[in-house]
Structure 1
Amino acid sequence: MRLLGFVAALAVSLAVLLGAPGQARAEQGTMQGWALQDATSQIVVGRAVIRFEPWAAEEAHELADELPGWWAEIERELGRDLDDGMTIHLVSHAGQVARATGMPNWVSGVAHPPRGEIAIALHNPDGSPSDLGTLLRHELVHVALYRATGGAELPRWFHEGVAESVANEVSLMRAEALAGAVFGPGVPPLSRMEAAFHGDHAQAAVAYAAARDFTTWLRYHDVEGAQFRQLLSQLRNGRSFEQSFMDAYEVPLEELDAQWRSGLFGRFVWFPLLGSGSLPFLLVGPVVGFAWVRRKRQLAAAWARMEAEEEAERAARIERAEYMLGSWT
């Protein structure tokens, strides 16, 4: 009965998430203006500054409390201590972000990595409350990725994919968008991903979902995530994007892309069951897939520790036995 209750609760959560309207996006891009007006209030967090109007004080202080931990987590994921100086503008509506930065009206958050400047809105274009934590984490990753790679020129799918993956690894809406492409028109190749970001809502949703999934796959390609961090180091050292993949993963980017795509059908086999009424499988599929990706290196490390402990115990027993034998001779 407890299991049935859990499944029922999860079903309700999924229905809400999958049925919710599309979230406004956060981006990294080339800003034209950044004509944001100076706010009357600010909070200083180390070398970071959060600027806001008094009516947003509660939200600003909540973000300030979380900011150091979020930045430290991002640094761990990218494998490098990074300059934490930045300015974060907290504004009321997504339209203010668009007008101030020259970005599209559907953008609720945007970052200018070279300047370490971020703008996020309390309300999405449709007026609904935005997820400030997710928005800010996404933009923080854009700034951190720029600094971790020494400002290397990166394709948009990589920048957006890393930001989506590191900021918030679980997204049922992204999983649904990618699964729909896998069993529908297909996932666009990397060479056409940039155009997909500029397409209609459905095309852009697939581009974000595919970039997110591929970069997550790259992050957990090896047990410790060392290859992904090596990739960033190579980029920081001035290697080209393609060569950095070869140096870090020892195979071309095209082969990594092909390996990732070859596993998509099996991972999203639950999707056709959406219309068949097989809800329990639908509930389990994405969760199991994410858990496998997320915990692969932790589980491997745990097994390694257990084996090391057992080996140490065996060695101790042998040493004690040898000592006892020696004491009798």
Structure 2
Amino acid sequence: MWLRILLTLIILIITSNAMASWQNIKSKHFVVTFTQKDQKIAETTLRIVDNFHSQIKLCLGDYAMNVPVYIIIAPSREVFEYLGGVREKWAVGLATGNNRIVIFSPRKFGDKSEIERLIKHEYIHILLHQATGGNGLPRWLNEGLALYYESNVWRVSDDIRLAEAVLTHSIIPLDQLNFYFPSNRKRAELAYSQSIDIVTYIMKEYGYERLKQIIEEIARGCDIDTAMINSLGVDSLSLSTAWHTTLIKRYQWFYIITNTAFIWAALPIICIIAYIRKKRQGERKKRQWEIEDGMLPSGNVS
């Protein structure tokens, strides 16, 4: 009891000290709040989010134009957890329903290049909240769209996670990702990988306009199944089943090369090939020695 009170007081002291030195920089649509040590990061953040706003509004609309979005760069882990109410120790960003983004300073986790991905991701959450009128998207769709638009870079880590999950039959059912993601970090990472993959699947199979229609249906008050039936012609279970089928087809090669029976069947062939190559290398080397000793003319080398 006393320990909990003491920890709370320590956090409040740290937070109040940080808040005493807050500074702001502004643009037309954004206010970035930071402490002195994060001034350069704040300036970079404002530049990134201004540019990204001009790009993403063409896809998701001008939903956040009428009110400013506040971005707070927390100078320490304690301040970040206090302001964001975040429990996961691996979390570094949070978007709230009142147009506020709280991020843990990239200065603290050592990768300033991460700021672009992080800011874009959280800002998309803000736009999606505005787009649905606060009705909220399923968590997998919300995170999948944020990941889809934050970067066009192909993620090898997503393929590895999905392939492993297919191989071990540990794909998380889609309906379990409607409201919450797992608290376990490894399972949470799989949930994120699944989310972007299924959003990419919807984009390819149905097109962007149909996916945008899901958002519009939810904004009108429809639940996710009704929104999907009206937009895609299938409910979430049918979509999940079809997507899962494509995963199995895509990663069946991974199953084959990691299958024990395959490895044992291929082993004799691999050994024979290795033996033949080694024998040929030995013959070449022997001939080369004979040439060097003057026993064979150089034209006999094969």
What TM-score, normalized to structure 1?
0.65
Residue type at the aligned position of 1:204: A
Alignment partner, residue 235 of structure 2? 252
Quick check: 1:161–1:215 contact (8 Å CA) kept in 2?
Answer: yes
1:20-69, Cα deviation, whole Å (9 max, x unpaired): xxxxxxxxxxxxxx998365321112121011122212111112112122
Residue type at the aligned position of 1:71: H
CA distance in 2, matches of 1:250, 1:274: 37
Matches within 5 A, 1:167-316: 167-169=150-152, 170-193=154-177, 197-223=181-207, 225-269=208-252, 271=254
Find the residue that maps to 2:129 and give its secondary structure: helix
Matches within 5 A, 1:34-53: 37=19, 40-53=22-35
Residue type at the aligned position of 2:63: L
CA distance in 2, matches of 1:194, 1:248: 18
Change (3 A) 1:117 1:178: same
CA distance in 2, matches of 1:121, 1:275: 39
TM-aligned CA deviation for residue 73 of structure 1:
2.8
What RMSD over aligned residues (CA atoms) do the two structures have, in Å? 2.7
Identity of aligned residues (%): 21
Q: Given the alignment of the two structures, is residue 60 of structure 1 paired with residue 42 of structure 2, yes or no?
A: yes
Quick check: 2:224–2:236 contact (8 Å CA) kept in 1?
Answer: no
TM-aligned CA deviation for residue 70 of structure 1:
1.2
* Among candidates 71, 74, 85, match of residue 56 of structure 2: 74
CA distance in 1, matches of 2:194, 2:234: 20
Q: What runs of 5+ residues in structure 2 fail to find an aligned partner?
A: 1-14, 260-302
Change (3 A) 1:208 1:45: same
Q: What runs of 5+ residues in structure 1 fail to find an aligned partner?
A: 1-33, 277-329
CA distance in 1, matches of 2:21, 2:241: 48
* Among candidates 41, 44, 64, match of residue 83 of structure 1: 64
Residue type at the aligned position of 1:62: T
The structure with higher relative contact order (CA 8 Å, sep 6+) is 1
The count of aligned residue pairs is: 239
Quick check: 1:196–1:207 contact (8 Å CA) kept in 2?
Answer: no
Larger radius of gyration: 2
Find the residue that maps to 2:168 and give its secondary structure: coil
CA distance in 1, matches of 2:217, 2:122: 23
Find the residue that maps to 2:169 and give its secondary structure: coil
TM-aligned CA deviation for residue 217 of structure 1:
1.6
Change (3 A) 1:244 1:128: same
Find the residue that maps to 1:197 and give its secondary structure: coil
CA distance in 2, matches of 1:268, 1:57: 45
Q: Given the alignment of the two structures, is residue 160 of structure 1 paired with residue 160 of structure 2, yes or no?
A: no
